[in-house]
A and B are shown apart, each in its own frame.
Chain A
Amino acid sequence: MAVALILVLVVVGSILFHILSPWWWSPIASNWGYIDQTLIITFWITGAVFSAVVLFMAYCVFRFRHREGIKADYNPENKKLESWLTAVTAVGVAAMLAPGLYVWSQFITVPDDATEVEVVGQQWQWNYRLPGEDGRLGKSDNRLVTYENPLGIDPDDPYGQDDVVIEAADLHLPIDKPVKMLLRSIDVLHDFYVPEFRAKMDMVPGTVTYFWFTPTRTGTFEVLCAELCGTGHGYMRGIVMVDTEEDYQAWLDGQTTFARLSAPPKVGAMDAVEP
């Protein structure tokens, strides 16, 4: 009796917790509302199955608990029932998988007008690179990383000269413009994760990974590293600001290009201005 009651309470409690809980995802700030919707569908289907199975158990425990003189039934199998259950399960699974795969195909198809933004992870900070005026990122290689060239940009690649380098500072993105985040690491695995954008992807040294999204809401968002990268992993945080177009341009104008960063300091220049 108590057991059946507690099983019912588990179901009721779980549903109430789900409904009343203040703990839910933060309001979305990207185009990936589809992901949230697929997640909601999954919640409904799985929630229904969970409740059905546990309530059925509770009923059995209540109804068929041991009583003197009553024997259990003897029925080894029931082909028809088993086939039915299999078919219904298959339908439920398909109802989750189909939207899932559909949204996944969107997730991996980057729109042509997406601008590229590179994120470079390093223990334990975030660096970024924007393509500059020419709209193209120059080649890069971890072997070229030095103190002056923290992102390992190839100095011989002309496309790289106007790239904007942002070392350990905030990233700004213009609202409503699709961006393709190109992800790179100069040491270990990291993962660029902004909860409000819903998307994330590992950064793997030696290769460039990517994901895309469109910021849909201005504001300041926290970046967290979501792949264990050593002792500082839990503290590897950053900031992404989604700006209006004007604010974005103003910020961009204040940034430094690779050419300027790597230009040799002009010897004697200081003397010249001195009176």
Chain B
Amino acid sequence: MVDATPHAEQGIPPAETPELELYHPRGWWTTYVFSQDAKVIAIQYSGTALAIGLVALVLSWLMRLQLGFPGTFDFITPEAYYQFMTMHGMIMVIYLLTALFLGGFGNYLIPLMVGARDMVFPYVNMLSYWIYLLAVLVLVASFFAPGGPTGAGWTLYPPQVILSGTPGGQGAGIVLMLVSLILFIIGFTMGGLNYVVTVIQGRTRGMTLMRMPLTVWGIFTATVMALLAFPALFVACVMMLFDRLLGTSFFMPALVEMGELMSYGGGSPILFQHLFWFFGHPEVYIVALPAFGIVSDLISTHARKNIFGYRMMVWAIVIIGALSFVVWAHHMYVSGMHPWFGFFFATTTLIIAIPTAIKVYNWVLTLWRGDIHLTLPMLFALAFIVTFVNGGLTGLFLGNVVVDVPLSDTMFVVAHFHMVMGVAPVLVVFGAIYHWYPKITGRMLNEAMGQFHFWVTFVGAYAIFFPMHYVGLVGVPRRYPELGDVAFATDSVHSLNAFITIAALTVGFAQMVFLFNLVWSLRNGREAGGNPWRATSLEWQTPTTPPPHGNWGAERPVVYRWAYDYSVPGAPEDFIAQNDPGSRHRGAV
């Protein structure tokens, strides 16, 4: 394949680089296990993320059982509740969603969508997955450690996180959690550098930045953000490990625990909160931006219409990414930081609403005068918009500093972030899986099971989290295993909680149908062909499906147009693939 350049010209480097011996699989092990093929790594990442995500899902049932029917389940002690809650939150945010969007979709889609043969550093890419797997195993180990996993909440706020009043604080739980996070970040950095460099350096001929599908833009920007945000969490974890194991006092002031003066002194618990949220807020967008990108492509493809305002969409992604580094302290309005910060962070936070709203407008305007096919990916995309708009709007309550004062740390917050960064991105994950499964496996997912899965998940999730806002408005705090009898909440709040629990169990059950569908359709799904959705972007134009190692056969594709040439007037079909030379003057951008 050395120099298979289609249009070699002076001064332009060849489209193909020389082959590397090291990189090709030589047997079963290097094909399926220690593979350096981004697509195999993507599937490994996704499988691991879904498996650990299943654990988090089961933990959410246990929490809901306790909240809906307090006192019924003896084994859910307050300690256990806090451990379930912490592990649920951490797994969902980091080990499921971050790993799935970047490690899973990033690995599968980036090289294919930009017309590369693979990631630029395949070996490091492989290491990235194995370190991620190790991080997951360490996390799982903490369930079996003496004292159990940490129950400090996914925010891991000191001082309680390393004290004996918190489950796992003086045991191995917190140490394993911190080690696992540190490993995760190391593994992620290896993968993340790959995604960024591949987008910058690995694009095929003609694939200018402004021709890239929004999926790639979303994943790319999210990865850049993650590379800037995770280091803050990394140092916070290291410092906390020192506080816990070596007796330093980075985050620990002088304090008396259970009547005894501890040897700590002089540290600042608020410093940890700043480090955590400097990571934590961008993290929300690290999960959201890939979802934004993917959902744009799903809507465009299934509405047979170009995404409305593509350039605005790209800029909105980049601006949201940048702004999200100056809003972190909106999580700390009632933390006791200097109250003047409230003015600054409320303003920046509400400003982010503007580019975010633009994205929403452009999604729904893409539907306008479209040719809407209500396929499963489209249904999930629509459901995403509903839940994302809902959750985004309640963010305006919590971002507006003084309105946050009564609501912070209540169930309103839990409802808000589940809607916006739990349900909404997960709906995109599902939509994306229904959309790309045919490319990955060559077969369609079963439609009937998919419809059942969609309706139960969408309506059910809305029924869980919409009423939950009102539980918070009543004043019920979050992270309470039971409310008990209080004057400010009537008995009906308890019935509402029971209803929410039943909805949660129902939604949980529907996910089993989805997992079954994933396996069942591998053999029994309808044959998909190479481009079942008649989509324009490059991954649908591979010579064989599923694409083999190296993706493109003899020659990499050359790109002539953007990814959104749907329903172009005068064109014979309602889509023109990106690598279709067509008549040159017609392509937009």
Contact = CB atoms under 8 A, between A and B. Distances in A.
Contact-residue bracket for chain A: 35 or more
Interface string A201-232: 11111110100000000001110111111111
Interface string A223-259: 0111111111111000000000000000000000000
B368 A38 contact: no
B135 interface: no
B108 interface: no
B197 interface: no
Contacts of B340: 108
A171 B493 CA distance: 27
Interface in B408-435: 408-410
Interface string A1-42: 001001100100010010001111110000010110011001
Contact of B403 (A100, A193, A229): A100
Given A46-B397, A205-B159, A209-B336, A25 B475 contact: yes
B152 interface: yes
A76 B265 CA distance: 60
Interface in B148-169: 151-153, 155, 157, 159-160, 163, 165-167, 169
B369 A73 contact: yes
Contact of A191 (B305, B309, B342, B409): B409
**Residue of B153, B480, B569 with most partner-chain A CB within 10 A:** B480
Nearest to A42: B397
A155 interface: no
A74 B310 CA distance: 13
A228 B473 CA distance: 19
B409 A100 contact: no
B361 interface: yes
B402 A142 contact: no
Contacts of A207: 253, 270, 336
A65 interface: yes
B39 interface: no
Contact of B401 (A45, A90, A101, A201): A101
Contact of A233 (B374, B401, B405, B480): B480
A85 B355 CA distance: 11
Interface stretch (A54-62, A111-119, A162-170, A266-274): A54-62
B426 to A, nearest CB: 18
A73 B567 contact: yes
B270 A61 contact: no
A25 B569 contact: no
A225 B347 CA distance: 28
**Residue of B254, B258, B268, B304 with most partner-chain A CB within 10 A:** B254
B307 to A, nearest CB: 9
A166 B475 CA distance: 26
Interface string B300-336: 0001111011111000000000000000000000111
Given A17-B467, A66-B371, A189-B160, A77 B309 contact: yes
Nearest to B486: A222
Q: Nearest 9 pairs between A and B by C-beta?
A: A206-B253, A195-B475, A230-B165, A209-B336, A46-B393, A60-B367, A188-B160, A108-B339, A100-B400
Given A82-B362, A233-B479, 4 more contacts: A26-B487, A66-B373, A97-B347, A97-B350
Interface of B: 78-79, 82, 151-153, 155, 157, 159-160, 163, 165-167, 169, 253-259, 261, 265, 267-270, 303-306, 308-312, 334-336, 339-340, 342-343, 346-347, 350-351, 353-354, 357-358, 360-362, 364-365, 367-374, 379, 382, 385-386, 389-390, 393-394, 396-397, 400-403, 405-406, 408-410, 459, 462, 466-467, 470-471, 473-475, 477, 479-482, 486-490, 492-493, 496, 564, 566-569, 574, 588-589
14 contacts: A3-B382, A10-B462, A26-B489, A39-B406, A49-B389, A61-B374, A73-B305, A73-B368, A82-B312, A85-B361, A202-B334, A205-B253, A227-B157, A234-B482
Interface of A: 3, 6-7, 10, 14, 17, 21-26, 32, 34-35, 38-39, 42, 45-46, 49-50, 53-54, 56-57, 60-61, 64-67, 70-78, 81-82, 85-86, 89-90, 93, 96-97, 100-101, 103-105, 107-108, 122-123, 141-143, 145, 147, 152, 183, 185-189, 191, 193, 195-196, 198-207, 209, 220-222, 224-235
